[in-house]
């Protein structure tokens, strides 16, 4: 009996430019695959793709909404890139976001009806610290008790969610809100300044851009960044070089948690304006896709966050204009990740067909 | 390249034509919190939308819209894309609806189950589901052997507490030993949590299961355990044919058709609607013959009396858990008291989560 032999070999030289081009390829493949799905569903593929990717950003309001949506995604993904680059798998950014929101929101309620320029910075800072402390739990458990950070950080998401549920239903619920599960609307001094009248884009975008700049600075211009990258490439080398692995793990988790916490507090002081149970439509999980789509590179993450944000907006417009099911947005996100991982595999490994051989068994 | 350009041009022209045409028509938009296939809350709103469509009016819907920052954008997009009347069908859309209404004074907005009407183009509407609960209570009181009624509750808001109280009062009237056990699941739709709650209540001796959540999981658990149950929002009979005694049906269709036609003809006015059995916004699914002809006739009579106003779900004397009087003998609770209800009546076990 003859069988086809396939051998998978690791490629030794991977071109840098192709490495950064594969995400673009993945996006085109997604568009193509999406077109086919739309065709099968009975829609004109070109028209559907246009409603999905062009109509949402064809006016100023749409562009502003794109940035509103991309702001938290980019910020969280930037933080995650520190963890992922150093081989620390922080899956719980959603929980860190929510906990940051809880702490920031608590401070905002404390400053209810209180004016002053210092109110918002204090809220933002406390949100960042909240997220940071929450991210330190899996980091410390990992370094000192050898637990698995994937499981711990993921399970802590549910802890944060339930804590938020408890607070908005119970002690923090709006006294005039008929027991509905939400807090008061924060006062004006606790809200992110809006950049343009009648658009929702807010000052949070500057926080994100500043974070992008600092993450680039840390990752590419400091000793810490070098340590992070080396540990990511080879833990043994890092140990051999005498890097303090434990401190570094805790630091990357702190950075990641602070970014997620800031994103959370940015959402509640920005477009939402209060605490309730749905402060994040799973931004913390979607940001994982963003981080990898952006190749864990600060500039790449900016573009990736814009593209992923667009899939959210597109799913809404496509539904409004064509009644395409809303979940196509998630299908698109899944396809982007699938094509990216697939092309990555082909980028790092080559498949050799060794022809037909006689089966000896 | 030339072909690509041509294709682009055609699609842009098509879009322009589409949007101009769209603005010429009268259109109604719906924003749903869940999937249209939940067989509960959103399913019934979508049935209402289909009735509007059947009346010759174009409709659009967006499903599974989270009650966070995204809701405002979806509502705004509907307003911007030429929808003249927009129904937002969950409590969490209250502030976004009012915010968008401010910027689109020519578009009419209808928000379900909320209390804020900050602009003249915002109406609110809800149904007197508690009248249906009174009927369930009557049946539950008669049918229970263990004198324990299990109640799966979503959030401790007045609407839900009103339902618990109305049911308990009616059950006590026919069976003074009745106890109501409650599990709070803090969700409107989570089949997993809802079925766990149903099982926990059955394990605690409840032989009647009712729910103020939207999935069909509790009635299915009840069917398997061989206890009685009641469907919620839509007729859930086919999911638990033996167990279900009846379902409370939310019938939004007549209201949606009436309001859509009013908006199209320019007679739409701001209002706060609270309709019940009388107007048909709350309806009952066919009664299960397993409870016997006498009881069915009793319940049908009570349904007629509630609809005509001869009977009221909250007729005094009503006491709270500590025995303080809430409604005096012979009096009935007014709508203001019902709207803000936040205490249990006597006979309900446990405390309201605060």
Q: Rounded mean pLDDT of B31-42?
A: 88
> How much is the pLDDT for B11?
57
* Distance set, CA B176 to CA A107, B144, B334, B347 (Å): 49, 12, 25, 9
Q: Verify whether the Cβ–Cβ distance B155 to A319 is below 8 Å.
A: no
Indicate the pLDDT class of residue B15, thresholds 50, 70 and 90. Answer: low
- Give CATH superfamily name and number for B129-249+283-339: Response regulator (3.40.50.2300)
**Residues A258-275: tens digit of each pLDDT:** 999 999 999 999 999 999
> Is B95 in contact with A185 (Cβ distance < 8 A)?
yes
A interface test, pick of B19, B58, B65, B68 with most A CB neighbours within 10 Å: B68
Instruction: Give the range among A277-286, A338-347, B97-106, B323-332 with minimum mean pLDDT.
Output: A338-347
Taking the CA of residue B200 and the nearest CA in chain A, the distance in Å comes to 20
Burial B154-182 (b: 16+ CB within 10 A, else e): bbbbbbbbbbbbbbbbbbbebbeebbbbb
User: Are B66 and A323 within 8 A, CB to CB?
Assistant: no
DSSP B115-163: ----STTEEEEEE-HHHHHHHHHHHHHHH-SSSEEEEEE---SHHHHHH
Smallest Cβ–Cβ distance between B77 and the set A200, A271, A316 belongs to: A316
Q: Is the pLDDT confidence value at A7 over 60?
A: yes
Q: Is the pLDDT of residue B1 over 70?
A: no
For residue B217, pLDDT beyond 60: yes
Task: Name which of A170, A272, A280 is nearest B354 (Cβ-Cβ).
Answer: A170
CB A280 within 8 A of CB B68: yes
Contact at CB, A181 and B60, closer than 8 angstroms:
no
Contact B86, B78 (CB under 8 A): yes
CB atoms within 10 A of CB A102: 27
For chain A, give the number of residues: 361
The band of A319, judged by pLDDT with boundaries at 50, 70 and 90, is confident
B121 near B186, Cβ under 8 Å?
no
A349 phi and psi, to 5 degrees?
-125, 145
Confidence of residue A337 (pLDDT cuts 50, 70, 90): confident
pLDDT at residue B294 greater than cutoff 50: yes
For residue B63, the distance in angstroms to the closest alpha carbon of chain A comes to: 7
Does the pLDDT at position B40 exceed 80? Answer: yes
Q: Do B74 and A316 touch (CB under 8 A)?
A: yes
User: For residues A130 and A100, is the Cβ–Cβ distance under 8 A?
Assistant: yes
| Predicted pLDDT at B187 | 85
Q: How far apart, in whole angstroms, are the C-alpha atoms of residue A211 and residue A257?
A: 13
Rounded Cα–Cα distance for residues A227 and A220 (Å): 10
Q: Do B29 and A320 touch (CB under 8 A)?
A: yes
Percentage, residues of chain A above pLDDT 90: 48
Tens of pLDDT, residues A233-255 = 877 788 788 777 788 899 999 99
Helix axes of A93-110 and A60-85: crossing angle, nearest 10 degrees: 120
How confident is residue B20, by pLDDT bands cut at 50, 70 and 90?
very low
Report the range of poorest mean pLDDT among A203-207, B12-16, B147-151, B293-297. B12-16
pLDDT score at A1 = 67
The mean pLDDT value for A83-110 works out to 95
The two beta strands, B122-127 and B272-275, are parallel
Chain B touched by A55 (CB under 8 Å): yes
- pLDDT tens per residue across span B190-209: 899 999 999 999 999 999 99
Residue A52: the pLDDT is 87
| pLDDT: which is higher, A243 or B169 | B169
Per-residue b or e along A235-244, where b marks 16 or more CB atoms closer than 10 Å to that residue's CB: eeebeeeebe
For residues B227-256, give the mean pLDDT: 94
Q: Which helix (H) or strand (E) holds B78?
A: helix B69-80
Is B73 in Cβ contact with A320 (below 8 Å)?
A: no
Answer yes or no: are the C-beta atoms of B109 and B121 closer than 8 Å.
yes
Interval A105-119 mean pLDDT: 92
Cα–Cα distance, A85 to A70 (Å, whole number)? 21
What pTM, to 2 d.p., does this model score?
0.81
Confirm or reject contact between A79 and chain B (CB < 8 A): no
Cβ partners under 8 Å of residue B138, min gap 6: B170, B171, B173, B174, B298, B299, B302
* Residues of chain A with C-beta less than 8 angstroms from the C-beta of B9: none
| Cβ distance of B11 and A279 shorter than 8 Å | no
With H, G, I as helix, E, B as strand and everything else as coil, classify residue B311.
coil
Mean pLDDT, rounded, for B305-311: 93
Q: Report the pLDDT averaged over residues B158-187.
A: 93
Query: So what's the pLDDT on residue B22?
Result: 45
| Separation of alpha carbons A206 and A30, rounded Å | 30
How far, in Å, CA of A281 to CA of B72, rounded?
14
Please list the residue range(s) of chain B that carry CATH number 3.40.50.2300.
2-127, 129-249+283-339
Please tell me what DSSP assigns to residue B315.
B
- Residues of chain B positioned with their CB less than 8 A from the CB of A65: 73
Position of tokens 């992008």? A212
B111, β-bridge pairs: B88, B124
Tokens for A232? 């990511």
Q: Is A316 on the interface with B (CB under 8 A)?
A: yes
Distance CA A73, CA A34 (A): 23
- Confidence band of A355 (pLDDT split at 50, 70, 90): confident
* High-pLDDT (> 70) share of chain B, %: 93
| Residue A320 CB neighbour total at 10 angstroms | 22
Residues of B in contact with A268 (CB under 8 A): none
Quick check: B14 and A165 CB within 8 A?
no
> Residue A316 and residue B92: Cβ atoms within 8 Å?
no
Q: How far is A254 from chain B (nearest CA, A)?
A: 27
> In this complex, do B353 and A320 lie within 8 Å of one another by their Cβ atoms?
no
Tell me the nearest-neighbour CA distance from B61 into chain A, angstroms: 7
Closest residue on chain B to A281 (Cα): B66
Picking from B11, B62, B354, the nearest residue to A46 by CB comes out as B11
- For residue range A209-242, what is the model confidence (pLDDT) as tens digits? 999 999 999 999 999 899 888 888 877 788 788 7
Helix-helix angle A298-322:A328-348, to 10 degrees: 140
Residue B24 pLDDT level (bands cut at 50, 70, 90): low
Check if the beta carbon of residue A228 is closer than 8 Å to that of residue A255. no
**A198 interfaces chain B, CB cutoff of 8 Å:** yes
User: Does residue A313 belong to the interface with chain B, where contact is any CB pair within 8 Å?
Assistant: yes
Chain B: give the shortest CA distance to residue A132, in Å: 24
pLDDT at B354 over 80: no
CA distance B8 to B11: 5
Query: Which chain B residue has its CA at the smallest distance from A309's CA?
Result: B70
**Which pLDDT does position B178 carry in this prediction?**
92
pLDDT (average), residues B151-160 = 90
Q: What is the pLDDT of residue B3?
A: 59
Q: Are B14 and B22 in contact (CB under 8 A)?
A: no
Cβ distance A319 to B77 less than 8 Å, yes or no, reads no
Which carries the bigger pLDDT value, residue A79 or residue A228? Answer: A79
Structure tokens at A116: 């002053």
Burial of A91 by CB count in 10 Å (0-12 exposed, 13-18 middle, 19+ buried)? buried
* Cα–Cα distance, B279 to B301 (Å, whole number): 17
CB contacts of B186 in chain A (<8 Å) are 165, 169, 181
Mutate to test the interface with B, among A65, A168, A178 (most CBs of B within 10 A): A178
pLDDT greater at residue A281 or residue B68:
A281
Residue B115 — very low, low, confident or very high, per pLDDT cuts 50/70/90? confident
Look at residue A349 and tell me whether its pLDDT is greater than 90: no
**Residue B36: its chain A contacts at CB < 8 A?**
none
My answer on whether omega of the bond before A232 falls inside 30° of 0, hence cis, is no
pLDDT value at B131 more than 90:
yes
A330 at B interface, C-beta within 8 A:
no
Q: Are strands B58-62 and B282-284 parallel, antiparallel or unpaired?
A: unpaired
Residue in chain A lying closest to B80 (CA): A61
The reported pLDDT for the residue numbered A244 is: 76
- Distance, in Å, from the CA atom of A253 to the CA atom of A316, rounded to the nearest integer, reads 34
Residues 6 or more apart whose Cβ sits within 8 Å of residue B104 = B76, B79, B80, B121
Contact status of A169 with chain B (Cβ, < 8 Å): yes
Enumerate the residues of chain B whose CB falls inside 8 A of the CB of residue A325: 63
When CB atoms are compared, the residue of B7, B62, B161 closest to A316 is B62
> Would you call B91 and A180 a contact, using CB atoms and an 8 Å cutoff?
yes
Q: Which residue from A minimizes the CA distance to B77?
A: A317
Q: Does A158 touch chain B (CB under 8 A)?
A: no
Ramachandran region, residue A289 (left: φ > 0; alpha: ψ -120 to 50; beta: rest): alpha
Q: Can you name the residues that pair with B31 across neighbouring β-strands?
A: B62, B88
Instruction: Check pLDDT > 80 for residue B147.
Output: yes
Nearest to B7 among A46, A61, A317 (CB): A46
CATH T-level fold of B2-127 = Rossmann fold (3.40.50)
- Which residues in A lie closer than 8 A to residue B161 (C-beta atoms)? 179
State the smallest CA–CA distance between residue A264 and chain B in angstroms: 12
DSSP string, A2-36: EEEEEEEEE-S---HHHHHHHHHHHHHHHHHHHHH
CA distances from A319 to A54, A81, A351, B20 (A): 14, 33, 41, 19
The whole-angstrom separation of Cα B24 and Cα B36 is 28
User: Inter-chain contact B77–A180, Cβ cutoff 8 Å?
Assistant: no
pLDDT value, residue A121: 95
Residue partners of B328: CB distance under 8 A and separation at least 6: B316, B317
A289-299: pLDDT as tens digits: 999 988 899 99
Nearest to B73 among A165, A278, A316 (CB): A316
Q: Residue holding tokens 């192709």?
A: A18
Instruction: Look up the ipTM and state it.
Output: 0.76
């Amino acid at each position: 009996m003859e069988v086809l032999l396939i051998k998978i070999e690791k490629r030794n030289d991977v071109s840098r430019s192709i490495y950064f081009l594969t995400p673009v390829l993945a996006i085109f493949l997604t568009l193509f695959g999406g077109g086919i799905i739309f065709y099968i569903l009975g829609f004109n593929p070109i028209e559907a793709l246009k409603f999905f990717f062009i109509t949402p950003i064809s006016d100023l309001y749409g562009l502003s909404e794109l940035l509103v949506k991309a702001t938290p995604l980019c910020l969280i993904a930037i933080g995650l890139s520190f963890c992922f680059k150093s081989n620390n798998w922080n899956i719980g950014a959603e929980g860190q976001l929510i906990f940051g929101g809880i702490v920031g929101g608590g401070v905002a309620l404390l400053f209810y009806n209180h004016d002053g320029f210092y109110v918002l910075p204090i809220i933002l800072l406390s949100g960042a610290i909240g997220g940071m402390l929450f991210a330190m739990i899996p980091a410390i458990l990992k370094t000192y008790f050898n637990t698995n950070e994937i499981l711990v950080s993921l399970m802590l998401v549910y802890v944060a969610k339930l804590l938020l549920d408890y607070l908005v239903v119970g002690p923090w619920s709006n006294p005039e809100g008929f027991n509905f599960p939400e807090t008061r609307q924060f006062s004006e001094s606790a809200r992110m300044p809006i950049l343009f009248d009648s658009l929702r884009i807010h000052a949070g975008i500057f926080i994100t851009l500043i974070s992008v700049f600092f993450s680039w600075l840390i990752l590419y211009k400091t000793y810490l960044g070098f340590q992070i990258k080396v540990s990511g490439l080879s833990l043994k080398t890092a140990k051999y070089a005498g890097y303090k692995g434990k401190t570094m793990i805790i630091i990357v988790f702190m950075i990641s948690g602070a970014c997620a916490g800031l994103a959370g507090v940015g959402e509640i002081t920005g477009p939402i304006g209060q605490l309730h149970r749905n402060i994040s439509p799973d931004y913390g999980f979607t940001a994982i896709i963003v981080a990898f789509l952006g190749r864990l590179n600060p500039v790449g993450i900016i573009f990736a966050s814009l593209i992923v944000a667009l899939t959210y907006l597109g799913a809404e417009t496509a539904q409004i204009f064509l009644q395409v099911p809303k979940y196509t947005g998630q299908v698109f996100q899944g396809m982007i990740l699938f094509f990216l991982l697939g092309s990555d595999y082909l980028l790092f490994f080559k498949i050799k067909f060794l022809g037909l051989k006689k089966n000896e068994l | 390249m030339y072909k690509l350009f041509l294709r682009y041009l055609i699609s842009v022209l098509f879009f322009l034509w589409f949007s101009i045409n769209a603005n010429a028509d009268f259109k109604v938009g719906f924003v749903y919190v869940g999937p249209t296939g939940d067989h509960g809350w959103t399913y019934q709103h979508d049935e209402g939308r289909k009735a509007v469509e059947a009346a010759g009016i174009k409709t659009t819907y967006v499903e599974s819209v989270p009650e966070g920052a995204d809701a405002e954008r979806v509502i705004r997009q509907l307003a911007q894309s030429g929808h003249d009347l927009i129904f937002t069908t969950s409590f969490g859309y209250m502030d976004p609806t009012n915010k968008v209404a401010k910027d689109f004074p020519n578009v009419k907005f209808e928000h379900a189950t909320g209390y804020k009407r900050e602009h003249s183009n915002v109406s609110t509407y809800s149904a007197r589901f508690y009248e249906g609960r009174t009927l369930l209570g009557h049946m539950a009181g008669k049918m229970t052997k263990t004198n324990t009624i299990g109640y799966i509750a979503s959030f401790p808001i007045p609407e839900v507490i009103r339902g618990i109280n109305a049911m308990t009062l009616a059950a006590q009237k026919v069976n003074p030993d009745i106890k109501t056990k409650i599990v709070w699941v803090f969700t409107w739709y989570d089949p997993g949590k809802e079925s766990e709650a149903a099982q926990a209540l059955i394990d605690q001796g409840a032989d009647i299961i009712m729910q103020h959540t939207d999935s069909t999981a509790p009635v299915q658990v009840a069917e398997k355990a061989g206890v009685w149950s009641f469907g919620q929002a839509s007729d859930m009979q086919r999911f638990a044919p033996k167990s279900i005694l009846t379902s409370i049906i939310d019938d939004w269709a007549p209201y949606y058709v009436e309001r859509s036609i009013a908006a199209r003809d320019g007679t739409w006015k701001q209002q706060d609607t609270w309709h019940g059995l009388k107007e048909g916004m709350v309806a009952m699914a066919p009664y299960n013959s397993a409870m016997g002809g006498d009881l069915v006739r009793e319940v049908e009579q009570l349904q007629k009396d509630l609809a005509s106003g001869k009977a009221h779900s909250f007729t005094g004397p009503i006491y709270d858990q500590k025995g303080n009087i809430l409604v005096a003998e012979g009096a009935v609770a007014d709508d203001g008291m019902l709207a803000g209800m936040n205490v249990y009546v006597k006979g309900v076990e446990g405390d309201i989560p605060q």
